Structure 1
């Protein structure tokens, strides 16, 4: 990935591609960093301008205390988009990042013509974080949600990433909750996209989950939305995708075969092609 830059108010970002081919703004998911989009940035950047950012409180902007506020982070991202003269763009988000994207789009609707939620139809998972007792009724989903939060909380040491890259057995043992086929992952891309993950801010999000109105934030989205989901995503069922359709105006609902919760790592070529289609407005 291109060398990253940083604004005066601390937003770390990568900008790649020509300014004449449309613009994509990429927002990572829970505990992630802009590095998760590495291959997507390269592929989209052949024909479009791409901005991948660290959500304030994550990536290199994480703090030891885990300080994080959804409203403040969304306002910071909106100011960043204004400073970078983002207009008529596609706002792409992953997983829990769809809540952040929805809030940013509500603050600056004139800057985005379409949103793409990658692995973002998390209606039941969101309800479970707000009402933990429901995990008794859906124990498998509860365990999966807990695993996602734990993984997002803890930074992954470089040594462990390197070990996973070298060992299909270790990948299978550690990454099974997140991907469909850990053994098939590209080793180099695994290290690159998971570098910089983990932030104490994940714990703050968990503790304040009841104050994050998932339904309300999604209902505020004025733009059309595309859903992209892996067929083996353990957090998202057909029911979730149907529930999201009741909250936002979904124009495309695409399922990627042989893919779990991390399409940017598992199926980056197909994901990039789908994002290009979203940017062009082409039919599926």
Structure 2
């Protein structure tokens, strides 16, 4: 009989006056993986993958400030501020040098941390990161209205993806903050310029049908990073939800946790058969 996957337990920590929700699981003395959610989501985005990895890694998945059960940051939110909040948690939990795994805006925060504070980042997994300018879709006036937030969430993410992976109410409340980060001109200044400074090994995962950040950003990112492996999957903006088995196998391989008896070549062949391209 197979053992149940490790449980990720919820905790709150208050740092610099801001309450941060996170879940924590796995061996306390194992290397840590810090998981950061993306567009309009919270730590639950990584529940399945986190539980799968927690048998051999310590897994800490956060609600970024202003998302999920975490309090918002005082003043303006920026990618630097998000990264600093995560670094505060990493230091408070004494995680040391960790693997940072992020999606979308969470991956952008991971890029900031890897460039500015490399002593805390051993390697990065970047899933469809916001790292180059994205198309302007709507403004703050639109996202401030819940009904219009839902409507535009359907337009940006697709109705099926929105219902299944995000939820319309969550999208309505969180898309405004997300897109303010993307549209205030900070992305090219704070993320794009940092990419060449990331020296940590990187796994870049992108969806070929991504309507938020095009997959061609992935080819550019892999080219500009010092050490990068690029995987393009046949999916949209949420590879970890749309192709969970592919993403789990890729992350395991990248971390040296490949399934016993499969091996690196076998796993990569399986990825290609399911639509992954290296």
TM-score (norm 2): 0.72
CA 1:213/1:267 → structure 2, altered by over 3 Å: closer, same or farther? same
Distance 1:238 1:12 in 2: 31
Distance 1:49 1:196 in 2: 32
In structure 2, the residue corresponding to 1:50 is in which secondary structure?
A: strand
1:178 equivalent in structure 2: 157
Paired positions, count: 248
1:5 to 8, 11, 16: 11
Once the two structures are superposed, residues 190-244 of structure 1 have per-residue CA deviations (whole angstroms, 9 ceiling, x without a partner) of 66xx699716533542335367432112222121211111222224445322321
Distance 2:54 2:78 in 1: 31
1:89 equivalent in structure 2: 98
1:230 to 191, 200, 207: 207
Q: Does 1:217 align with 2:194?
A: yes
In the TM superposition, 1:251-262 aligns within 5 A as: 251-257=228-234, 259-262=235-238
Q: CA deviation at 1:121?
A: 6.3
1:207 equivalent in structure 2: 184
Distance 1:35 1:175 in 2: 21
2:248 equivalent in structure 1: 272
CA 1:196/1:11 → structure 2, altered by over 3 Å: closer, same or farther? farther
Q: Does 1:69 align with 2:47?
A: no
Distance 1:121 1:71 in 2: 13
In the TM superposition, 1:12-161 aligns within 5 A as: 12-63=21-72, 67-120=76-129, 122-123=131-132, 126=133, 128=134, 142=135, 146=137
Contact persistence 2:215–2:232 (CA under 8 A): no
Contact persistence 1:66–1:199 (CA under 8 A): no
Distance 1:42 1:110 in 2: 26
In structure 2, the residue corresponding to 1:60 is in which secondary structure?
A: coil
Q: CA deviation at 1:32?
A: 2.4
Contact persistence 1:26–1:91 (CA under 8 A): yes
Which stretch shows the higher mean deviation, 47-56 or 67-76?
67-76
Query: Unpaired runs of 5+ in structure 2?
Result: 1-6, 259-263, 269-278
TM-score (norm 1): 0.70
CA 1:153/1:209 → structure 2, altered by over 3 Å: closer, same or farther? farther
Q: CA deviation at 1:63?
A: 4.4
Contact persistence 1:41–1:50 (CA under 8 A): yes
Distance 1:281 1:249 in 2: 23
1:170 equivalent in structure 2: none
Distance 2:200 2:218 in 1: 17
